[in-house]
Structure 1
Amino acid sequence: MARRTTTVPLLLALIPVVAALFAVAALAGAVSLAARRPARPARVVGFLLLYLLADCAGLVAAAALYVRHPPGVRGAREARAAGAYAVLTRLLTYLRAAARPLFGLDLRITPRVPAPPERPGPPLLVFARHAGPGDSFLVLHALLREAGLRPYTVLKGSLRADPCLDLLVSEVPHCFLPAPDGRDQEAIGALAAALGPGDALVLFPEGGNFTPRRHRRAVDTLRRHGRLRRAARAGRLHYVLPPRDAGVLAALEAAPAADVVFVAHSGLDVIDSVRSAWSCIPLHQPVQAQWWRVRSGDIPRTREARSEWLLTQWTRVDAWIATHAPPGTPHV
């Protein structure tokens, strides 16, 4: 609560500041367009203003859910969760639509995400690559709007600084990492154990965005811990970090009936710094994503076999990126 008393007023205070910046950036943008330049300041500040307005709309919606379904009333928690998912879907749809003209975002997913079935299928564990700004939100949007699933989210604790996200995510199954008590694996396992039909736990096994430096550090860490065979295999990955298997293994053990979906993507990974983000606006290549599903019965049963299986699947992610990465994509 103390955190929100700071983040909410800060959000409201930022809106007029960003609106003033947008007025200046829009004038600069008009000059840039006349000179056939990318108008980057207007694009960035414009999207920031739209994001802040979306945050405010989300705060109002979250407050309305709380008033409409107050604590202590039977079924109120379930109703607030359903409402929070609906609000998140609308906000992510709005932001993705805004990113298309402003940043040239063109997302292409293969195979096409199937429409929601009449009967919810088995729960899913979604293990996605992490690289580039906003990739986690694109994954969540695809699950919510296109697949009709209810994502259980594992997010970095720093995202709680966004008051809208903080309030809405608090109404749905989630966990922020690192966990307050330091028991990250237990938190992920508890979240996975609660999965039901039509639910999907979303996890990013790399633990952070790919950079060549992080890749080298991850391989060196494996060597220092005596995991020489795994370090050798991880060293042959060129576009992804070796997956951290602790959280994945905890999720697999807690949800043995769940199928697993792997998600590879490329296009946002060209943005790995403020400088590259600025130079890449607008994007000139589509963001491509590929996913595949592994049935629960085809997943190895022992921890050791599952760890090797995960790295094999991540090798497949790396190979797919190698054939789809646009020029300038960071790699080792």
Structure 2
Amino acid sequence: MAMGGIKPPPVFVRRLLRLVWPVVAIAVTFVAAPVLVAGALWSVVDRRARLFRATGMLLLVVWLDQQLLWGCWRLRVQEPLGSGPQWQADHEKLLVDVLDTVMRLARKWVGFEVRLDAVMDFGEPDRPLISFARHAGPADSVAVAWLLSRTAGRLPRIVLADALRWDPGLDLVLTRLGSSFVPSASGAGDDRLLGVRRLADSLAPKDALLIFPEGENWTPDRRHRRIERLRAAGQQARLRQAERLRNVLPPKTKGAIATLMARPDADVMIVAHAGLGRLTSPRAIYNALPFDRPFLVRTWTYAATDVPRDPAAIETWLADRWSEIDAWVDAQDE
């Protein structure tokens, strides 16, 4: 789903949502329970049990989001001042525990399984890590964040669309963890880069920063619209790149440039994944349940000294990396 065109709720609405969200969860459960039962009965006909799996996973996600919200409330009661290393560590544990549960249940209910194509290199342990990841398919941002937290031992700071503030659980926990909610491109100007620069400046040696340079999930329609916008703008070099790329959108470079220039000491990881990227609509995802292909991940890591820091060079370097991602995804026959 494209999030960039959805405006975030005002502050008072965000606070109200936190209060009414448990009521919404109960209402969703009452509505979905008969569908879950019907799906269980219908699985006699549909041996893939898609209705049962989809409804069950929806309910699990709704209540895990409640777990995030209630966990944040509990931590506020335990630590009223809301500051200090323990405050940060407790919220990181809360989020990682929920991510663990989501990934475990997603594998059990819908066959969402993360596999590595090669051993991951997380760079030097005494340097921060900046990760630029492909954006495509269902739940890819959740899977990449979970993989970094569990495999690298680094819970990443995340740059994400501010429309996600409509989810009270994610809004509260990620705000407390210092993630950056990026405004819509419409009229945002340089405000879109302020949070990115802030996160980059605040990275400690063992921290990771996760960015999705494409800005939205790949779909054929979005690829076509991106190409048409570049053609209309007369950006011939980027247009030629976009036309060559079949499985990814050409990366937007302002955030990457701001990040890499702010942290010349950071190693850089490029994250590609394949297997589910062609599932670009709710119907396609539903029809594919349970998934018969893994969420296959491949990474390339570059030492800080091997990554350019000049804006023009960064743009060229990132374009080359995205061409490599595109070729790798092609080779997986996604």
TM-score by length of 2: 0.90
What are structure 2's unaligned runs of at least 5 residues?
Answer: 1-10
- What is the RMSD computed on CA atoms of the aligned residues? 2.1
Please, which of 80, 85, 88 is the counterpart of residue 81 of structure 1?
A: 88
Q: Deviations over 1:55-107 (max 9, x none)?
A: 222222111211222227xxx24322211111000001101111112111111
Matched, 1:225 2:233: yes
- Between the aligned partners of 1:23 and 1:211, the Cα distance in structure 2 is 32
Q: Which runs of 4+ in 1 moved over 4 A?
A: 179-182
Please, which of 20, 30, 44 is the counterpart of residue 20 of structure 1?
A: 30
Who is 1:329 aligned against? Answer: none
**Structure 2 counterparts to residues 100-249 of structure 1, below 5 A:** 100-113=107-120, 120-178=125-183, 182=189, 183-249=191-257
* Secondary structure in structure 2 of the residue aligned to 1:34: coil
Q: AA paired with 2:150?
A: R
Q: Deviations over 1:9-36 (max 9, x none)?
A: 4421233333334432333233233235
- Between the aligned partners of 2:81 and 2:99, the Cα distance in structure 1 is 27
TM-score by length of 1: 0.90
Who is 2:7 aligned against? Answer: none
Who is 1:292 aligned against? Answer: 300
Q: AA paired with 1:125?
A: I
| Higher RCO (C-alpha under 8 Å, 6+ residues apart) | 2
Cα displacement (A) at 1:54: 1.2
Contact 1:159 1:166 in 2 (8 A): yes
What are structure 1's unaligned runs of at least 5 residues?
Answer: 327-332
- Between the aligned partners of 1:165 and 1:301, the Cα distance in structure 2 is 33
Cα displacement (A) at 1:186: 2.6
Q: AA paired with 1:50?
A: L
Q: Percent identity?
A: 35
> What is the number of residues matched between the two proteins?
321
Between stretches 174-183 and 140-149, larger displacement belongs to 174-183
Contact 2:72 2:172 in 1 (8 A): yes
Matched, 1:29 2:47: no
Please, which of 274, 296, 310 is the counterpart of residue 302 of structure 1?
A: 310
* Secondary structure in structure 2 of the residue aligned to 1:288: strand
Contact 2:43 2:52 in 1 (8 A): no
